[in-house]
Amino acid sequence: MGRSSNARARLIEIAGQLFQRQGYHASGLNQILGESGAPKGSFYYHFPDGKEQLAEASVRAAGEAVERIIEKAFGRARSFGSGAERFGALLADWFEESGFAAGCPVTSVLLETTPQSAPLLAACRAVFDAWIGHVEVHASRLDEGARARELALGLIMAMEGAWLLARAQRSTAPFRLAARLRPA
């Protein structure tokens, strides 16, 4: 990678971290530029449409990061339950490493920009759909096929809710309960 694509990756990384900790609107372009060390010209070279375009890239990158966590959790799982438990533990570790401060990388952007921004709504929705789809593939392999979609949707939903409660309670316990929630 040349310097140019490093600058792009760095901008996406810093923006993602700031959105997770303080939300989309509170993370101004000046702070993103300051913390990433990118000059304004470089920013507009990579993101000619501005902060909304950077947020779209950041949501997609966050989506891929969680997809890797899903693969790590379920890749060698022998049951849906053990995969779900590992998924919850990995999210709990990520949250704890942030000092109980970082929320889901997609949620903040979603709540502050939807439905006002069509591109960001589409990006957030695509990321949630991809997570559900990845979990569903593993659920199909590990459980009865007919329940796979509901198991996947239920697990992603529960983890998103757990991330909110974890932040309010400054605790990782919600992730462990979320891993055990199943459709009755």
Stretch that binds a second copy, among 8-16, 71-79, 89-97, 165-173 (CB under 8 A): 165-173
For 74, the token pair is 């379920």
Among 114, 130, 133, 137, binds a second copy (CB under 8 A): 114
- Near a second copy by CB under 8 A: residue from 10, 51, 60, 125: 125
Number of residues counted as binding a second copy (CB under 8 A): 45
| Least spacing, CB of residue 117 vs a second copy, in Å | 11
89 binds a second copy (CB under 8 A): no
Query: Segment contacting a second copy (CB under 8 A): 29-37, 48-56, 110-118, 135-143?
Result: 110-118
Residue from 9, 10, 23, 130 touching a second copy (CB under 8 A): that is 23
Which DSSP string do the residues of 111-122 spell out, in sequence order?
HHHTTT-HHHHH
Where is 46: in which H helix or E strand?
Answer: helix 40-46
Sign of CA dihedral 142, 172, 101, 25: positive
* DSSP 8-state class, residue 27: S
Count Cβ atoms within 10 A of the Cβ of residue 33 and give its class: 0-12 exposed, 13-18 middle, 19 or more buried.
middle
Sign of CA dihedral 61, 65, 71, 77: negative
Listed ranges 9-17, 42-50, 89-97, 157-165: which one lies at the site for a second copy (CB under 8 A)? 157-165
Helix (H, G, I), strand (E, B), or coil: what is residue 172? coil
Closest to a second copy by CB, 141 vs 170, is 170
Amino acid symbol at 173: A
Q: Is 158 in the site for a second copy (CB under 8 A)?
A: yes
Q: Which of 38, 103, 138, 142 binds a second copy (CB under 8 A)?
A: 103
